[in-house]
Structure 1
Amino acid sequence: MTSPAVPSRYPLARRPGLHLDAFATRSGLHPETVRRFVALGLLACQPDAAGDLWFEPSALLTVARIQRLRTGLGLNYAAIGLVLDLLDRIDELETAAYGQRRTSVWTQTI
């Protein structure tokens, strides 16, 4: 017995991440606001062949950070981009420093 044919309109693999509409719903933003964040470089996304935007679930944390900076500090979007870059850089430096500290402590005990 043969298995039924899968219609061609169904994708073979599910795309990881969230479509623009689902992402906008989960973040509480209008889809046009999400598109504006992408255009300003505040949010990373992956466009597919049809031009639809797909977001990693972790981008929801970035949106929350953007909203906190906007409402809490009253920053404009250009300043938010700069602050996000600086915060990411601080995280990288702290991670590198923590790794070096652990390595140096490990080598001192041997």
Structure 2
Amino acid sequence: MSTALARPLLLDLDTFARLTGVHPQLIRRYVALGLLEPTRVTAGRVWFGYADIAVVARIQRLRAAFSLNYAALGLVIDLLNRIAAHENVPRGRTRLSGD
């Protein structure tokens, strides 16, 4: 008898769909539209990481809150990611003249 000591690093499509509460066909659509970028493995199987669960949750929240179509979702997600990256850049201290 063996027991799992850790969660698997990657999730197959069906497991990922079950964890996110989203139909596998909709997950495939997100991948086809570029909203979700899984790790692909040989033989055409698609695998997802646990971080992708948050991506799907974000997609679902944006669709529910703003009724965005898929093209708009891609744009909004890209902009939100750029804003987050910009906010994480350390700011240098600048002094105003006259101080």
Q: TM-score, normalised by structure 1?
A: 0.74
Superimposed CA distance per residue, residues 47-103 of structure 1 (whole angstroms, 9 cap, x where no aligned partner): 11121100111111111110111111100011000000000000010001xx224xx
Q: C-alpha displacement at 1:16, in angstroms?
A: 2.4
Q: C-alpha displacement at 1:17, in angstroms?
A: 1.5
Q: Which runs of 4+ in 1 moved over 4 A?
A: none
The answer as to 2:91 corresponding to 1:100 is: yes
User: How many pairs does the alignment contain?
Assistant: 88
Q: Partner letter of residue 45 of structure 1? A: P
2: distance between equivalents of 1:68 and 1:27?
Answer: 12
Structure 2 equivalent of residue 36 of structure 1? 29
Contact 2:41 2:47 in 1 (8 A): yes
Q: Partner letter of residue 86 of structure 1? A: L
> Which blocks of at least 5 consecutive residues in structure 1 are unaligned?
1-14, 106-110
Q: CA RMSD in A?
A: 1.7
2: distance between equivalents of 1:85 and 1:56?
Answer: 19
Q: C-alpha displacement at 1:42, in angstroms?
A: 0.2
Q: TM-score, normalised by structure 2?
A: 0.82
Report percent identity of matched pairs.
Answer: 48
Structure 2 equivalent of residue 48 of structure 1? 41
Judging by fraction of residues, say which structure has more helix: 1
The 5 A counterparts of 1:62-77 are: 62-77=55-70
2: distance between equivalents of 1:43 and 1:100?
Answer: 31
> Which blocks of at least 5 consecutive residues in structure 2 are unaligned?
1-7, 95-99
Q: Partner letter of residue 68 of structure 2? A: L
